[in-house]
């Protein structure tokens, strides 16, 4: 079926993939006046972007083998931090040096002095003895902010819309055929299709017989139910790799692994060995780590460019724009591959420049200066927002991190004083706003957009109420609300099972018993 009754819709560009790269690209193009359709088969940022370590960093490690990546990351991180300032926070790392540390204090300090040259590019301070600074960000929210700005600039953006094939005219790609959220098969024509599908880029390119070579590398994190430390802490793994223990909001991430991945990208398992590898390293610098309670694990696959030989960890994090007309004789298709979250804006700019050149569009890039939604104007201080709207300081702080100067608009709802969940301090007003204005179609979408069930209760306390609030906005029947809860509980359980110890299993039993008491029993 075509998009419009009269025939397939026409856009200048269809972007396939709404991770941070595709979202950034849609924004860049829309701001240049190009008509864009952005599609993601799942939700915004639900692929690799959301499974990252949530850092906008330069990567001092890359200085050893990939100086340019550190420089480019730091430069672009500087832009991202400025355009997304309500979303980012300074993250101070402690760098413990144990007796058998490969560098020792003096050489580590010297490495940090070299990194200090790059720190001003991203607005970070120079290091102090055995501490250094990076930026933290919620990549789900960063991705959404890009989607939202793209839409405000005239783009169309649709999540839960899988591109199933590319439309061809002879050898040329002239659009996509996708499955819409309501199940319809829809065709969308475009002058150019850009493949920004991250680790899935080879799969999308193959739809047109084109080739993208990646060396995908899987990484997992264990997520703890609280801030285990006010500082991030670096740790050395048994094979000498750098690991991180990073507090973010009300939780702590421990990660990450980096292993060649040959399996299915759509069903990533977290293995007990991977969890043990992380814990073994973490307990050398944080001895009580095994006594703390993990609430979930995350897994993602890096879309690293193909290279033969280097260990996964030493692979370059550079990016490449592939023109499939030149490489494979397939006009109408470009792929942007590789890179990092910390340089997504630059990747988008380079791609948008190439697209505009092909389309004959003269407009220049605005994304390095133009603030993302919520980052312009002065946001109210936490206390003032909390006092004015009768919400807790924690709820106000969370709201400001997600919406910045637009937070008061979200609270124009009588449900602003009602919390869906105490542990994540999410108000019903914000959840309803997300369902109405932020393309939340499932409970998992609400986790990504506004942190539903992201706290210590992991949904045990808040899911049922959340399904009512979202269901009310989206017109779900009682059966649909129950199904939504069941689906979320099952998925959350899968993400938690690999990190449960015996007390964790006991708590699961308890939670299961409680849920059986829910109406309709889960």
Q: What residues line the site for ligand FAD (CB under 6 A)?
A: 16-22, 39-42, 46-49, 51-55, 57, 162-163, 196-200, 204, 219, 255-256, 300-303, 339-342
Question: What DSSP element (H or E) covers 172?
Answer: strand 172-179
- Please state the closest distance from residue 72 (CB atom) to ligand FAD, in A: 11
- CB-wise, 43 or 413, nearer to ligand FAD? 43
Tokens 């055995």, residue located: 130
* Strand pairing report for 172-179 and 162-169: antiparallel
Residue number with CB closer to ligand FAD (422 or 494): 494
Cis geometry, peptide bond prior to residue 313 (ω within 30 degrees of 0): no
C-beta separation of 194 from 179 below 8 A: no
Least distance to ligand FAD, CB of residue 429, Å: 28
Residue 343's nearest CA partner among 361, 367, 364, 323 is: 367
- For residues 236 and 199, the answer to whether their CB atoms sit within 8 Å is no
> Closer CB to ligand FAD, residue 15 or residue 419?
15
What's the closest the beta carbon of residue 423 comes to ligand FAD, in angstroms? Answer: 25
Q: Which is nearer to ligand FAD, 223 or 511 (CB)?
A: 223
Q: CB 21 → ligand FAD: shortest distance, Å?
A: 3
d(CA 359, CA 38): 17
The three-class DSSP label of residue 115 is helix
State how far the Cα of 52 lies from the Cα of 470, in Å rounded to an integer: 27
Residue number with the smallest Cβ distance to ligand FAD: 19
Cα–Cα dist 349/353, whole Å: 6
Smallest gap from residue 215 Cβ to ligand FAD (A): 13
Residue number with CB closer to ligand FAD (18 or 247): 18
Q: Is 173 exposed, middle or buried (0-12, 13-18, 19+ CB in 10 A)?
A: buried
| Residues sharing a CB contact under 8 Å with residue 298, sequence separation 6 or more, in sequence order | 50, 51, 220, 221, 223, 253, 255, 270, 495
> Which one, 259 or 508, has the nearer CB to ligand FAD?
259
CB of 329 to ligand FAD, least distance (A): 22
Residue whose CB is less far from ligand FAD, 48 or 367: 48
The position carrying tokens 């992380």 is: 278
Shortest reach from residue 43's CB to ligand FAD, in Å: 7
């Amino acid at each position: 079926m075509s998009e419009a009754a009269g025939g397939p819709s026409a856009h200048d560009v269809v972007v396939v993939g709404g991770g941070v790269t595709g979202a950034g690209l849609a924004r860049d193009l829309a701001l240049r006046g190009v008509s864009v359709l952005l599609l993601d088969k799942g939700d915004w940022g639900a692929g690799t972007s959301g499974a990252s370590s949530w850092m906008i960093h330069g990567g001092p490690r890359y200085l050893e083998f990939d100086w340019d990546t550190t420089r480019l990351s730091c430069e672009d991180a500087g832009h991202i931090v400025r355009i997304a300032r309500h979303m980012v926070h300074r993250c101070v790392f402690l760098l413990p040096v144990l007796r058998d540390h490969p560098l020792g204090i003096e050489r580590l300090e010297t490495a940090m002095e070299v990194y200090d040259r790059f720190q001003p590019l991203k607005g970070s301070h120079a290091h102090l003895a055995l501490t250094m600074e990076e930026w933290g960000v919620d990549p789900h929210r960063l991705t959404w902010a890009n989607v939202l700005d793209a839409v405000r600039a005239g783009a169309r953006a649709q999540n839960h819309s899988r591109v199933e094939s590319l439309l061809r005219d002879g050898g040329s790609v002239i659009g996509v055929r996708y499955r819409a959220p309501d199940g319809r098969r829809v065709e969308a024509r475009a002058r150019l299709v850009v493949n920004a599908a991250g680790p899935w880029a080879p799969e999308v390119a193959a739809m047109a017989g084109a080739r993208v070579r990646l060396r995908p590398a899987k990484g997992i994190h264990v997520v703890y139910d609280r801030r285990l430390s006010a500082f991030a802490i670096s740790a050395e793994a048994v094979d000498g790799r750098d690991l991180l223990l990073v507090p973010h909001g009300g939780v702590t991430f421990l990660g990450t692994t980096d292993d060649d991945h040959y399996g299915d990208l759509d069903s990533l398992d977290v293995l007990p060995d991977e969890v043990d590898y992380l814990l073994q390293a973490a307990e050398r610098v944080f001895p009580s780590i095994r006594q703390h309670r993990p609430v979930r694990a995350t897994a993602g696959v890096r879309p690293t460019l193909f290279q033969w030989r280097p260990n996964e960890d030493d692979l370059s994090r550079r990016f490449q724009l592939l023109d499939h007309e030149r490489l494979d004789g397939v006009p109408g298709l470009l792929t942007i591959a590789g890179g990092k979250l910390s340089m997504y804006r630059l990747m988008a700019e380079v791609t948008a420049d190439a697209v505009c050149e092909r389309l004959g569009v003269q407009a220049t890039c605005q994304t390095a200066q133009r603030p993302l939604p919520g980052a312009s104007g002065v946001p109210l201080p936490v206390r003032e927002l909390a006092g004015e709207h009768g919400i807790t300081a924690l709820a106000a702080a969370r709201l400001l991190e997600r919406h910045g100067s637009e937070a008061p608009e979200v609270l124009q709802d009588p449900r602003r004083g009602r919390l869906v969940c105490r542990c994540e301090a999410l108000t019903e007003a914000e959840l309803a706003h997300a369902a109405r204005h932020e393309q939340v179609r499932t409970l998992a979408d609400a986790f990504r957009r506004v942190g539903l069930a992201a706290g210590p209760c992991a949904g045990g306390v808040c899911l049922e109420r959340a399904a009512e609030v979202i269901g009310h906005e989206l017109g779900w029947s009682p059966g649909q609300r129950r199904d939504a809860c069941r689906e979320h509980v099952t998925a959350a359980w899968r993400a938690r099972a690999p990190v449960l110890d015996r007390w964790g299993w006991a708590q699961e039993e308890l939670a299961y018993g409680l849920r059986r008491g829910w109406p309709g029993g889960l």
